[in-house]
Every structure is written in C-alpha cells, then in structure tokens.
Structure 1
Amino acid sequence: MSAIQLGNTHYRFNNRMLFYVFTLLLLSNFAASKSIIKSLPGFNGSLPFVLETGYIGVGELEAVQLFYYFIESERSPEDDPLVLWLTGGPGCSALSGLVYEIGPLAVDYAKSSGGGQPVFALNPYSWTKIASIIFIDAPVGTGFSYSTTLEGYDVSDTLSAAQTYEFLRKWLVDHPEFLTNPLYVAGDSYSGIVAPIIVQEISDAGNEAGHQPTINLKGYVLGNPVTDDEIDNNSKVPFAHLKTLISDELYESFMKNCKGEYLNPDQSNASCMEDILSIKECIGKVCPVQILEPICKVISPKPMTLKWDPRFLIADDTDILLSSPHVPRHWCRSFNYVYIYKWANDETVQDALHIRKGTKKQWERCNKTLAYSSNVKSSVDYHRNLTKKPYRALIYSGDHDMKIPYIGTHEWIESLNLTIKYDWEPWFVDGQVAGYTMLYAYNELDYITYDLRFATVKGGGHTAPEYRPEQCLAMIDRWFDYYPL
C-alpha cells in the first residue's frame, strides 16, 4: 500500500472516529465537570500521576451529582484495564478506598502528627501501577456526591446500580479514549450487592440491547463481598470454630440445637439461645474485621440487653470504625482514619479537589445517615445469571475477616454449580504462601464461556489490600494478565 493510500485510510479512520465520538456526545445531554489536579495539600511537589476529579449528573434532570476521582494507569493507560471501583458501606467514600486500599497515595504515619494534617507518601502497591481506576462516591450522599433535591437522596440497591451504570456511560462518552480498554467493575464489602447488578446492567440493558456506547466489559472483581444475608452471617460460627475462637463442644452443640442458624434462630429454643449467648461471649470482644488485631472502641458500647436483638449477637464494629475520630493513646487500625477526616474537611483541600461550594456540610468517611433501602438481600442470582455470559470474575477474601468470612463466600460460589478446573491450591508471592485459590468455569458443550477465580489472602482482613497490599497487587496483576495466581 502506498503512502498516499495509507494517508487516506488514516484520514477516513479519523473521520469515522470523530463522527462516532460526536454521535456519542449527542447521546449525552449533560455538561461534564472535570479538573486535572496537579498537586494536593499534604503531598510534597507535583503529583507523579494523572489525577482527575469531577461530577457527573444522573437521574431525572441530573439532580444527582456523583463525584469521582480518576487516576490514569502509571504504566500504559492506552492498553491497561479500566476499573470502576466501588467502596463499600453503603455510604463509604471513594477516598477511603483510594487512600487506605488501592490508590497511589497513602498516609505517612511517621511524618503525620496526631492532631495535624496528614503527610502523604506514594503507595508502592497501588493498583494504578497496572490499571486506570475510577473511584466513585456512590450512592448519592456518599463522600462529595450530592443531590439538588431531597427526593434525590432516596436510593436503593437497584437504583444505585442504575445510577452508577448511567454514570459510567456518561464518563466513557466524555473519555472516548478509554472505550476500547478492558473494563472491570470492582469493589469490596457492601459492593458485593451492587456490583453484580451493575455488571448485569452493562451486559443486558447496555451492550446486548445496543445501548451506546458499547462498553468493553470483561468481568468483575470483589473482595470479601457482602452477598447473601443468611449465608454471610451463618458462616460466622463455623469460621469462629475453625479459628479456635469457640470450642468443639460449643460448636457441636450449636449445630445440633440451632441447626446452623445464627442470624434468625428459633427464639423459643432455650438450648439454642444459650449456645448463641455463649458464642457471643467468646467472640464479642474479638475484632471482627481482622481477628488478630485489637478491637478499639471510640464510643461507649451499646448496653447489654436480655431482649433478643440479632445485632447484639453479631459482632459489628460499624459504630466503632465510622464514628467521629478521636486521637488515641495506643494504636488501633481504626484510628488511622482520623487523618482523612481532618484532611477532607479542610477548605484548601476541597478547593484543590474542585469540590463545589455549598454542596457538603461535612465530609464523612462513611455516611450512616443515608436514606438508603437495601432492597436486594442476596446477589447470588445475579452471579448465577452472569455465569451464562463470557465474563471473568475474581472473588478474593482476607482469611482473617469474621465480618464476611471466606467460608460463606466459598459456600455461595459452590452453589453456582460451576465446574472446578483447579482445586484448592496455594499461591505465592516472593516464594511465600500468600493464600489459597480455586478456579471454576461454566462449560457449554466443552466451550468455556465464564470463569471464576476464588482466592484467599493469608492474613488479610475485611478490606484485604489494606492488610496485605503487596500480595493483593500481585494477585490482581496476574489475574488481569490471565496468568495463574
């Protein structure tokens, strides 16, 4: 082909691309609000990565304004995966996932004073070293997201998923250079409810229905995911037994008297209730999100009561971790979050992030006052629907998390009735066992259309990358590249 022919081909290609982008822009009836952030208070010098923040309006009259942080891959943004990251909660800010889990900035505790602004250092195990990541404050009311109407704050699992899907479509329209990148929907904790719904929205209501833009969806990634109320909570007792937090005798008595039902036991069964109270006595003062770490309460604990209340029997540190911060006398992981409250509520920080004035009274790491309806009690059926589609899934669990134990996660994965391709085996980082893994697949006439990788992270807690950052980066890097763990 001559140089002139090559030039004409290139010209026609560019024209088609411009027409395509123009068409997509016409489909989107919104004005994007975004800014490139060159520096941030607390970090010395210019940011050595591309950080963009902005708002995208969704819903009726775009009353809901979802805020996001976007960080380009530090390796090859043209080729690397694009990840939509959902922090749990519901109502926990994207900034929590960015700073404490998988983002490029981390608090330098040695240089940060207890009462002052945090000093940031680069995180050597950031997932942005291998992927571009959109950290979204969702649902509305989370982080810096807001609504221009009171009605806009009324949201549910399914509505939040629909709004996040709309956000993603509009974000890709405004960033067409990422349309061809492999896309993964990812998150941890409560994201296990919403993420599979979003994936199904993209697949069914979007791509298969011909909804533009076509999204290059490849799969999803979930860590210690909330999935099914009964399975998640009933797995706490066998987990506690395996970790020697309760005795063999108590476990056997519980299984006999309560038939394995911890969440909704028969309250008229005195023997069962006695077993449950004994279990609570054993595990009530164990840190549920990482059983080897201290449990530190910064508010007064709820008084003991004889009246049956499932919340009393299920260890729950939500009030502890998400309450207003206090400077501690001794270390506890939850106290690490003190720094981000002061930083995110500082006016100079909000100016640097281009937060709209008057849209937020006070930033909270996790907003517990959301008008949120948890209308999906189990996301297992969404996973089951997705097994019939050509996607990949990575489900990982910190194996010392008693809030969402790996036992329950493994149980609902087994219920999908997939074919086991590789059974339980160790995976390694630097020659050391980093966890254990299994590979499942859905076979249709010997053709694999879906695969699911389950992995435990040895020593990991509820948000595994926060506890085992090096191992989790190795895990996700290998999985993105289709390598065995």
Structure 2
Amino acid sequence: MLTVNYHHRFIILLFLLLPCMFRWFLLASAAYKVTHLPGFLQQSTLPFNLETGYIEVDEFYDVQLFYYFIESERNPREDPLLLWLTGGPGCSAFSGLSLEIGPLKFISERYNGSLPNLVYHPYSWTKISNIIFLDSPVGTGFSFSNHPEGYETGDKSWSKHAVIFLRKWLKDHPQFLSNPLYIAGDSYAGKVVPLVVHNILNGKDLEEQPKFNIQGYMIGNPSTGEFIDYNAQVPFAFGMGIISDELYQGIDKNCEGEDYENPKNSPCASLIQIFEEGKVKEWQRCIHDLNYTKDVRSNLEYQVNITTSGHRALVYSGDHDMVVPFMGTKEWIKSLKFSIRDPWRSWHVSGQVAGYTESYSNNMTFATVKGAGHTAPEYKAKECLAMFRRWISHRLL
C-alpha cells in the first residue's frame, strides 16, 4: 500500500500559502499572523500562535529570508527562544516544522492528489520553547534575492545572515530580548550552528543593539567538516551487517588515512564506489543545486571556544543514522579531550532505555537516541522532547 508522498504534499501546502506571500510583499515584508491552515483537521483555528514573514539580511543584493515563528505553548515571555536551521544545505524550514520538532504533522495515508491533511503534534518542542524556523541559506524554501549574485552563498555567509536576521527580528520583537537564546539545527546545519554562535560572541558588531542573551547551541547528527563524518559510514554499515567482511576489510586496508568522500588512490576509490551502489538512496526533501561553497573546513575549533567560554552545547545522534553515524560524532567529541563529568550511561523515558549519554566538563552533553535515524525527532518524537526538556532545564538526561 502506498503511503503519503511528502514531496507532493509539501508542494500543495506551500502553494496554498502563496496568497499570503503576496500580502507580505504589499505590506513591505511585515510579519503576518497565521490562524488557519488548509487541511488542519482538528479545529478551525490553529491551537498555537504562528507568525510568518521576511527579513532583509543583505541590502545590496536584496536578500530576504523567510521565517516561521511559533510561540511557546507554556510561557512565551520566559521560555527559551530557539533559532532552528534545517540542514542540506537547501532543506526547507517547513521540513523541520512539520516533520521534526514543530507542532504540525502530516497524516500518513494513501496519496490521491488531494489536499494534505495535518494534525497537531503532541511532542512538539514548542511545548516548552519559542522557535523560529528559518528558510536559509538564501534560495532555500521561500527565501530569495532580487539579484543573481545574491544566491552565491556558503558557510560563512549563511552564518552571517543568520546573525543579521536575529538582530533585526529581535528589534521587531523586543518582548523576547531577555529570553534565553539557543541556536539549533541538524545534519549539515550542525556545521553552521556553531559558526552562528561564534559570530554572536565574537562579531565586529558586538556593540550593536539589541544584545543577544545567548546561552548555547544544539546540534543533531551534525556535520563538522571533518573526514570522520563521512568515513564513519563504512564501519557503521559493517557493524549493522549491511556490507560484507571482504568489502569492509578491503576498504580498511586500501583507504587508510584517506578521505572516503574524496579518495585519492584508485583501489580505495573503486571500493568506495562499490560501497555507494550498495546503499539504498532515500528520497530527499531538499534542493541540492544551490550555489553554495563549503568555505569553513571544520567547526571543531569554534565548538571548543564556545563551550570553553561557558556556553552550553547538546550534541545528539539517532543511532540508526548512516548519513552522519554516531560513531563518527563520538570520535570527534573524544578528540576535543574534554574531561568526563558524567560517564557513559543509559537515559530513560517512560521506564524504557531511550539512548545513551555522557557529559563533559566543558559544558557539552552527548546523547544517542535509540532507534532514531538521521533527523532523530522525526523517528523518536516523545524521547527527543524528553531529552530537550531535561537539557534545556539544566537537568541530567
């Protein structure tokens, strides 16, 4: 039986939002309160406060970033404020909102070309925090530039634009200035999140107003720019019984010291090619033709500086992810040489093991989410909300 085709339903739902976009342009990019969504089944008005709009982050190229803002359902004036960056680069913020940590979920059902049906997501992180879902970098989702050169982007410009966006957004929303601020994201955005925090803490515009009440960051199954992110796929696949002993041993022998994503010797390249035909490609809900430059080699130095300065970090990994396997994440965390504060142990939700965790002296916590894939909250929503709730409240997992 065929189930919901998320790609087509995304297109239909976003098309239905287009009339609102024309209104935003007429109102000179003013914020717009959304009280109704087509296909929302449970009641006539949304049971949460949703705002959308544009903010200009580059006047010369007229770069406009689109956002969805959802207030905390608990205490918006005191609960943390999260800026959520979705990975890719090139994945729509609506993906994070409706498939991961936001208050909307698609109903999984046979697709017949009709309007997508949406329901309230009971394990949304907006239960306890305010969240801005940002379409970034430019070219992602509804974000755009009025000049072709404006679409030339990369790690550095993405992080710079995110800071400009935040400063302008907080000027327009001064009631959230005192809320604890966290930058968060997953997958490739996990590489950019620490850059955003670094720019907030060390940027040239530190004297500009308003000031940020930055507390730390969260990254899920994150890229770092290090070889280990990709190289860990091979031992992970072997440990899961996906590839043969012979292939694993051949790669281990011929690719030692190589970057598996860009191998330089022919025997290694041939074996990695076999490993890639062996993987089943999953449907991608992101665009991959952005004019994007990976102009930061690694974010590890940024992470060390941020956590050493007293700011908090949560790094979490779905333990069934082969895109950025937890084994590689554990390896680069180990390379930071932080002393262990709370040794490796299980953490629990509703009396069941939800994963394993370890915390370190430099304000960093690492956690695996048992049975979760690349975007952990998509697979284990209840467990990830519990993880987030405990960490954001300064409790042990």
TM bracket, shorter-chain basis: 0.7 to 0.9
- The 5 A counterparts of 1:71-470 are 71-110=70-109, 113-205=111-203, 209-248=206-245, 250-259=247-256, 261=258, 262-268=260-266, 270=267, 272=268, 275-276=271-272, 280=275, 284-286=277-279, 295=280, 317=281, 320-322=282-284, 365-442=285-362, 451-470=363-382
Structure 2 runs not aligned, ≥5 long = 1-27
TM-score (norm 2): 0.88
Give the Å deviation of 1:152: 1.1
Corresponding residue of 1:447? none
Q: Measured at CA, do residues 180 and 273 of structure 1 come closer, stay the same or move farther in structure 2, by a change above 3 Å?
A: closer
Q: CA deviation at 1:187?
A: 0.5
Aligned residue pairs, count: 368
Q: How far 1:163 moved relative to its partner?
A: 0.7
Contact 2:98 2:104 in 1 (8 A): yes
- CA distance 1:266–1:155, shift in 2 (3 Å): closer
Residues 235, 407 of structure 1: 8 Å contact kept: yes
Deviation at 1:139, TM superposition (A): 0.8
Shift of 1:384: 2.1
Give the equivalent residue in structure 2 for 1:55.
54
The answer on whether the counterparts of 1:422 and 1:440 sit within 8 Å (CA) in structure 2 is yes
Q: Return the alpha-carbon distance in structure 2 between the equivalents of residues 369 and 273 of structure 1.
A: 24
Post-superposition offset of 1:246:
3.2
1:248 deviation in Å?
Answer: 4.6
Q: Do 1:54 and 1:68's aligned partners in 2 also have CA atoms closer than 8 Å?
A: yes
8 Å CA contact 1:83–1:133 kept in 2: the answer is: yes
State how far apart, in whole Å, the 2-side matches of 1:482 and 1:106 are.
28
In 2, the alpha carbon distance for the partners of 1:77 and 1:472 equals 21
Three-state SS of the structure 2 residue aligned to 1:240 is helix
Whichever residue aligns with residue 182 of structure 2, its letter is Y
Q: Distance in 1 between matches of 2:218 and 2:312?
A: 9
CA RMSD of aligned residues (A): 2.0
Instruction: State the distance in 2 between where 1:50 and 1:62 align.
Output: 32
- TM-superposed deviation, 1:184: 0.5
Q: How many Å apart are 1:228 and its aligned residue?
A: 2.2
**Residue type of the partner of 1:218?**
Q
Query: Structure 1: how far apart are the matches of 2:168 and 2:86?
Result: 20
Once residues 147 and 111 of structure 2 are traced to their aligned partners in structure 1, the CA distance between those partners, rounded to angstroms, is 39
Counterparts of 2:303 and 2:380 in 1: how far apart (Å)?
A: 26
Report the Cα offset of residue 179 of structure 1: 0.4
The Cα of 1:284 is off from its aligned counterpart by 3.7
Greater Rg over alpha carbons, structure: 1
The code of the aligned residue for 1:73 comes to: S
1:29-40 equivalences under 5 Å are 33-40=30-37
- The one-letter amino acid paired with 1:82 is L
Q: Say whether the 8 Å CA contact 1:193–1:226 is kept in structure 2.
A: yes
Measured in 2, the distance between the counterparts of 1:56 and 1:266 equals 43
SS in structure 1 opposite 2:308? coil
Where does residue 68 of structure 1 map in the other structure?
Answer: 67
Q: Structure 1's 432 and 137: CA in aligned 2 closer, same or farther, altered over 3 A?
A: same
For structure 1, list consecutive stretches of 5 or more residues without a partner in the other structure.
Answer: 1-30, 287-294, 296-316, 323-364, 443-450
| CA positional deviation for 1:265 | 3.6
Q: Contact 2:61–2:147 at 8 Å: present in 1 too?
A: no
Tell me: CA distance 1:58–1:122, structure 2 relative to 1, closer, same or farther (3 Å): same
Cα deviations by residue, 1:414-454 (Å, 9 ceiling, x for unpaired): 11111111121111111111111110123xxxxxxxx1110
Q: Distance in 1 between matches of 2:246 and 2:144?
A: 52
Contact kept? 2:83, 2:132, Cα under 8 Å: yes
- Distance in 2 (alpha carbons) for counterparts of 1:428 and 1:284: 37
Is the Cα contact below 8 Å between 1:32 and 1:174 reproduced in 2?
Answer: no
In the alignment, structure 1 residue 43 sits paired with structure 2 residue 13: no
Higher alpha-carbon deviation: 193-202 or 60-69? 60-69
Q: TM-score, normalised to structure 1's length?
A: 0.72
Moved more, 223-232 or 65-74: 223-232
Is the 8 Å Cα contact of residues 143 and 366 (structure 1) preserved in structure 2?
no
Q: For 2:48 and 2:40, how far apart are their aligned partners in 1?
A: 12
User: Is 1:471–2:383 an aligned residue pair?
Assistant: yes
- Aligned-residue sequence identity (percent) comes to 53
In structure 2, relative to structure 1, the CA distance for the partners of 1:284 and 1:425 (3 Å cut) is farther
Contact 2:103 2:124 in 1 (8 A): yes
Task: Answer whether contact 2:61 2:150 (CA < 8 A) is retained.
Answer: no
Per the TM alignment, residue 253 of structure 1 is displaced from its structure 2 partner at its CA by 4.3
Contact 1:141 1:367 (C-alpha < 8 Å) held by counterparts: no
Give the 3-state SS of the residue equivalent to 2:212 in structure 1: coil
CA–CA distance in 1 between the matches of 2:251 and 2:144?
Answer: 46
Per the TM alignment, residue 155 of structure 1 is displaced from its structure 2 partner at its CA by: 1.1
CA drift of 1:32 comes to: 5.8
Structure 1 residue 250, shift from structure 2 partner: 4.5
Shift of 1:75: 0.7
